[in-house]
Amino acid sequence: SAEVIWGLATSHVPSIGAAMDRGKTEDPNWKGLFDGYRPAREWLAEHRPDVAIVIYNDHANGIDLDIVPTFGIGTADRYTVADEGFGKRPVPDVIGDPDLSLHLLETLVDDGFDLTVFQELDVDHGFTVPLSVWTPDPGDAWPCPVIPLLVNVIQYPQPTAKRCYALGQAIGRALKSYPKDITVGILGTGGMSHQLAGARAGMINPEFDAMFMAAIESDPAKLAALSREELIREAGSEGIEMIMWLIMRGAMNERVRKVHSHYFVPASNTAAGLALFDNRAS
């Protein structure tokens, strides 16, 4: 079977990637954020999985807005880093794992989750920034093959938190039935509270973020009960990205051990959050 050994929840703010690419991580504005990543990065460097799954959203870079799948999965053997208008980030393209992708696809469809299939996909900051948070210096290649699982969080109606949590649980079941014995790291990305446009642009909600950070570990069912409207009201129109953390959490065991967490305001317009969980039975 495929065993989830860890789950990493992290924001995907583009300027976190830009700060790394331009050598600004020691600048006063950024140092606090990156210092807070260090314990998670050290632990992750010692726990390299055979394959990773990144639950993420595209921001109209890899997929045009005329087609917005609610849920999708990449089945390619390679994913190119998207050019979002400033040139490609200087990070490696992504090696996929078509075999595990196809197993997940088939099993999830049989389980009632009709995923859109991406046989080709350019991955944007929603995907590459979490990889950089995990692995700041990838060299020629990321630590392992990575599978993209896409979620629409940018256009109404986004899937419910409840449906996302259920998808995560279905992913957990699908991994258990994989014929090969491999280890898996799963990333839930986006968040925390932020709103990029409109009258509330720049809003941050530390109280809600603290509640979410605690409950993602110990009471994810409480978060799965939040409505789309509650999420947007409390976390901002982009803060609803946090439903992707629930997919990650659903794929993990009922009890997980928190390795490290970090909360830093602001990274650009966003409350940046990170939480790393060990999923191995202790």
Q: Which residues are catalytic?
A: 125, 194
Interacting residue with ligand DHB among 7, 14, 96, 185 (CB under 6 A): 14
> Could you tell me which stretch among 13-21, 37-45, 178-186, 206-214 binds ligand DHB (CB under 6 A)?
13-21
Interacting residue with ligand DHB among 19, 37, 49, 59 (CB under 6 A): 59
Does residue 103 interact with ligand DHB by CB under 6 A? Answer: no
Selection from 52, 252, 70, 201 nearest residue 133 by Cα: 52
Does residue 238 interact with ligand DHB by CB under 6 A? Answer: yes
- Specify the 3-state DSSP secondary structure of 2: strand
> Radius of gyration over alpha carbons of the chain, in Å?
17
Per-residue mark of binding to ligand DHB, 63-92 (x: CB under 6 A): ------------------------------
User: Which residues 117-156 are close enough to bind ligand DHB by CB under 6 A?
Assistant: none
Do the Cβ atoms of 279 and 200 come closer than 8 Å? Answer: no
> Could you tell me which stretch among 92-100, 215-223, 226-234, 267-275 binds ligand DHB (CB under 6 A)?
267-275
Interacting residue with ligand DHB among 4, 8, 9, 13 (CB under 6 A): 13
Interacting residue with ligand DHB among 10, 195, 237, 270 (CB under 6 A): 270
Cis peptide before 157 (omega within 30 of 0): yes
- E-assigned strand segments in the chain: 2-10, 51-56, 71-74, 78-81, 94-95, 116-118, 122-123, 146-151, 182-189, 257-267, 270-278
User: Which residues 160-219 are close enough to bind ligand DHB by CB under 6 A?
Assistant: 194, 196
Could you tell me how many residues of this chain bind ligand DHB (CB under 6 A)? 11
Cis peptide before 192 (omega within 30 of 0): yes
- Can you tell me the distance from the alpha carbon of 79 to that of 123, in angstroms, rounded to the nearest whole number? 7
Nearer of residues 129 and 166 to ligand DHB, judged by Cβ: 129
Does residue 61 interact with ligand DHB by CB under 6 A? Answer: no
- Specify the 3-state DSSP secondary structure of 282: coil
Do the Cβ atoms of 11 and 273 come closer than 8 Å? Answer: yes
**CA dihedral sign, ordered 178, 179, 185, 190:** negative
CB 268, min distance to ligand DHB, A:
3
Residues of this chain that interact with ligand DHB (CB under 6 A) are 12-15, 59, 194, 196, 238, 268-270
